Amino acid sequence: MALADEILRRRTFAIISHPDAGKTTLTEKLLLYGGAIQLAGSVTSRKNQRSATSDWMELERQRGISVTSTVLQFDYAGYCLNLLDTPGHRDFSEDTYRVLTAVDSVVMVIDAGKGIEPQTRKLFEICRKRGIPIFTFMNKLDRPTRPPLELIDELESVLGIQSCPMNWPLGTGPDFKGVYSRHDRQAHFFQRSAHNASRASLKVKDLSDPAVRDELDDSTFSAVSGELELLEAATPAFNQSAVHHGQLTPVFFGSAMNNFGVQLLLDGFLANALPPQPRRAAAAPDPGERTANPVIGELFTVAPSDPGFSGFVFKIQANMDPRHRDRIAFVRVCSGRFEREMSVTIPRTGKRIRLNSSHKLFGRDRETVDEAFPGDIVGVVGHSDLAIGDTLTDATTKLLEFHELPRFAPEVFGYLHNDNTSQFKRFREGLDQLLQEGVVQVMSVVGSSMRVPLLGAIGPLQFDVVQYRLKSEYNAESRLELTSWSALRWLSGDLSLEQAVALTLPSGAKLVQDQNQRLAILFDSDWSIRYFTQKNPGVDLNTETG
Ligand SMILES: Nc1nc2c(ncn2[C@@H]2O[C@H](COP(=O)(O)OP(=O)(O)OP(=O)(O)O)[C@@H](O)[C@H]2O)c(=O)[nH]1
Ligand SMILES: [Mg+2]
């Protein structure tokens, strides 16, 4: 197939939301349609020990939450989908943000019983900044929900995005009878299937059909009719271009757990989502001439159809498969054709490496891939010099870099002790790996001779993951000593170490250097940050670093 055709059939998207809205459950059901898994695993069912394909990590299975994002690639109806299930918990949001740099659209899941929750709002804002098209799935219609019109209204009043309901619920909770598709005026009736695990069968009718009328009690019928009338008058007409620009979100209702409304979502998504999009890049400086601000010159556009290969690493994960115990760099292909054994340059180091082990990913499973195309996420194994944020280019592509991945300021800090010195080597090796994955950040206090690593995280669950993985993957015990610092602010790159040491710090604040030697200050309160700003006018404090 020609490069252009391969690009056209790709759809790369993430599923995002507040914790527990049903992302992993929806992911499982979407896989069913691709025939990618025989029987979708139920996230909570312990009875038959079937577990979700995308929550592969032991810790995720134990706690029933997603800790890390997962890539699943599968074919459906002639399309090649790269689906990324993300963790909803705020503590893992950096991983989710990185995923958002690698996709072309998102499906935002909302628990219809709760409406828009804080983490959904935050993730939505990131998507909006990036202009990513957003599709909305109102989930858990099998349970009592907020009034559907209120849910729609909230999209506009809380998120500020216009919405177009593609279908509409016929009752909710115990009275949930199905959904009505507005564009083709068809009713899809809800039927629970055995174990909620196989395809729910659908009967399709017309809403004016007496057969529909008979399914609904009087009050549901009149409520739905009224709501539909109101929608016609009050919501904008469907406009694909507005969807593509992230200004209008198509809304689908259903129940992921019961596999209801999932196919309508998938088909509506495929009919309206964009294929891989062009990306912005900058010329790469010589490795020896890098400064704190690596972006040089004007940004330019890299189109997927550009013949030269380019891509970037947005995630690193080790030990996904206990049988291999290796490290996978997740590469989003941006342009050209990716080939299994190709040689690529890493502009950050100037090094050329030959890729000898490249995989298509499906949760923790992998399969050797011979070629891949823009939009694909490829797992590259066995190159310890690849870091998160690295660009890869082939010899025919001019040296360029994608500057997609900022680091966020950690908000909890702790010293991680290794009390058992006989385990030190394993402890260090494990910690170095987790740092490369960006699970936590490490910093050192300027002028201190303390050897115990000082770690920073967005939230305390990240520390749990570090300690759990050190134990389970590296057999190293650790002890966390939390500190009272609660904020880190990076200083601007042009400040020298001498100048930074001379700054007036409030008591309790400390000057540190992060793993890239960038200077930052740790504070223990907002008050302390304000005090610093007053005492050091003209010194910028940054919550993100490039
Ligand atoms: N009643 C009902 N429960 C659902 C539905 N979809 C998901 N759930 C339940 O909601 C809970 C959370 O589901 P997950 O799919 O793990 O949620 P998640 O969004 O992936 O959560 P995190 O990854 O931890 O952010 C589980 O107990 C699911 O069984 C649904 O349609 N109806
Ligand atoms: Mg999940």
List the CATH number of the domain containing 512.
Answer: 3.30.70.3280
Which atom of ligand 1 lies at the shortest distance from residue 89's CA?
25
**Would the pLDDT of 295 be above 60?**
no
Q: Is residue 75 part of a domain?
A: no
Going from the Cα of 132 to the center of ligand 2, the distance in angstroms, rounded, reads 21
Least trusted range by pLDDT, from 14-23, 112-121, 396-405: 396-405
Is the same domain home to 377 and 468? Answer: no
Which atom of ligand 1 lies at the shortest distance from residue 19's CA?
25
Is the same domain home to 115 and 11? Answer: yes
Q: Is residue 52 part of a domain?
A: yes
Asked if 257 contacts 25 with a C-beta cutoff of 8 angstroms, the reply is: yes
Percent of the chain with pLDDT over 90: 63
Going from the Cα of 68 to the center of ligand 2, the distance in angstroms, rounded, reads 9
pLDDT for position 290: 65
**Would the pLDDT of 115 be above 60?**
yes
Residue 294 binned pLDDT confidence (cut-offs 50, 70, 90): low
Going from the Cα of 318 to the center of ligand 2, the distance in angstroms, rounded, reads 19
Going from the Cα of 40 to the center of ligand 1, the distance in angstroms, rounded, reads 13
Q: What residue's CA is closest to ligand 1, atom 12?
A: 20
More confident residue, 163 or 341: 163
Is the same domain home to 299 and 379? Answer: yes
Is the same domain home to 370 and 438? Answer: no
pLDDT for position 320: 83
Is the same domain home to 174 and 297? Answer: no
Which atom of ligand 1 lies at the shortest distance from residue 260's CA?
31
Q: Is residue 477 part of a domain?
A: yes
**Would the pLDDT of 407 be above 90?**
no
**Would the pLDDT of 238 be above 70?**
yes
Q: Is residue 76 part of a domain?
A: no
Going from the Cα of 477 to the center of ligand 2, the distance in angstroms, rounded, reads 27
Domain membership of residue 61 as a residue range: 3-67+106-272
Q: Would you call 30 exposed, middle or buried from its count of C-beta atoms within 10 A (0-12, 13-18, 19+)?
A: buried
Question: How many structural domains is the chain composed of?
Answer: 3
Least trusted range by pLDDT, from 94-98, 196-200, 317-321, 425-429: 196-200
Is the same domain home to 411 and 472? Answer: yes
Contacts for 537-540 with beta carbons within 8 Å, 24 or more apart?
Answer: 539/491, 539/492, 539/495, 539/503, 540/491, 540/492
**Would the pLDDT of 67 be above 70?**
yes
**Would the pLDDT of 486 be above 70?**
yes
Testing ligand 1's pocket by substitution, the residue of 17, 18, 20 carrying the most ligand atoms inside 8 A of its CB is 20
**Would the pLDDT of 368 be above 50?**
yes
Distance (Å, rounded) from C-alpha 519 to C-alpha 492? 8
Q: Which CATH number covers residue 388? A: 3.40.50.300
Among 255, 272, 289, the domain-final residue is 272
Residue 364 binned pLDDT confidence (cut-offs 50, 70, 90): confident
Is the same domain home to 161 and 297? Answer: no
More confident residue, 313 or 44: 313
Query: Residues 345-352: what's their mean pLDDT?
Result: 90
Q: Is residue 183 part of a domain?
A: yes
Is the same domain home to 130 and 251? Answer: yes
Going from the Cα of 123 to the center of ligand 2, the distance in angstroms, rounded, reads 15
At a CB cut-off of 8 Å and minimum separation 6, what does 188 contact? Answer: 167, 178, 179, 180, 181, 202, 203, 204, 261, 264
Q: What residue's CA is closest to ligand 1, atom 32?
A: 140
pLDDT for position 399: 75
Going from the Cα of 22 to the center of ligand 1, the distance in angstroms, rounded, reads 3
pLDDT for position 291: 60
Q: Is residue 90 part of a domain?
A: no
Is the same domain home to 213 and 321? Answer: no
**Helices 460-474 and 424-436: crossing angle, nearest 10°?**
130
Among 354, 380, 401, the domain-final residue is 401
Q: What residue's CA is closest to ligand 1, atom 23?
A: 66
Q: What residue's CA is closest to ligand 1, atom 27?
A: 44
Distance (Å, rounded) from C-alpha 247 to C-alpha 131? 8
Residue 532 binned pLDDT confidence (cut-offs 50, 70, 90): very high
As for ligand 1, residues whose beta carbon falls within 6 Å of it are 17, 19-25, 43-44, 65-66, 87-89, 139-140, 142-143, 255-258
Distance (Å, rounded) from C-alpha 403 to C-alpha 423? 38
**Would the pLDDT of 441 be above 90?**
yes
Residue 48 binned pLDDT confidence (cut-offs 50, 70, 90): very low
Among 272, 289, 304, the domain-final residue is 272
Is the same domain home to 23 and 118? Answer: yes
Q: What residue's CA is closest to ligand 1, atom 24?
A: 65
Testing ligand 1's pocket by substitution, the residue of 257, 262, 264 carrying the most ligand atoms inside 8 A of its CB is 257
Query: Residues 298-322: what's their mean pLDDT?
Result: 90
pLDDT for position 234: 86
Is the same domain home to 387 and 412? Answer: no
Query: Residues 7-11: what's their mean pLDDT?
Result: 97
Asked if 107 contacts 135 with a C-beta cutoff of 8 angstroms, the reply is: yes
Q: Is residue 528 part of a domain?
A: yes
Within 372-453, residue ranges assigned H as helices are 424-436
Q: What residue's CA is closest to ligand 1, atom 1?
A: 140
Q: Is residue 98 part of a domain?
A: no
Going from the Cα of 198 to the center of ligand 1, the distance in angstroms, rounded, reads 17
Testing ligand 1's pocket by substitution, the residue of 15, 18, 24 carrying the most ligand atoms inside 8 A of its CB is 24
Query: For residue 159, what are the CA distances in angstroms to 25, 127, 156, 239?
Result: 24, 11, 6, 19
Is the same domain home to 373 and 422? Answer: no
Is the entire prediction scored with pTM above 0.75?
A: yes
Most trustworthy range by pLDDT among 149-153, 219-223, 260-264, 540-544: 149-153
CA angle at 486 for the pair 480 and 490, rounded to the nearest 5°: 110
More confident residue, 254 or 407: 254
Residue 19 binned pLDDT confidence (cut-offs 50, 70, 90): very high
More confident residue, 304 or 54: 304
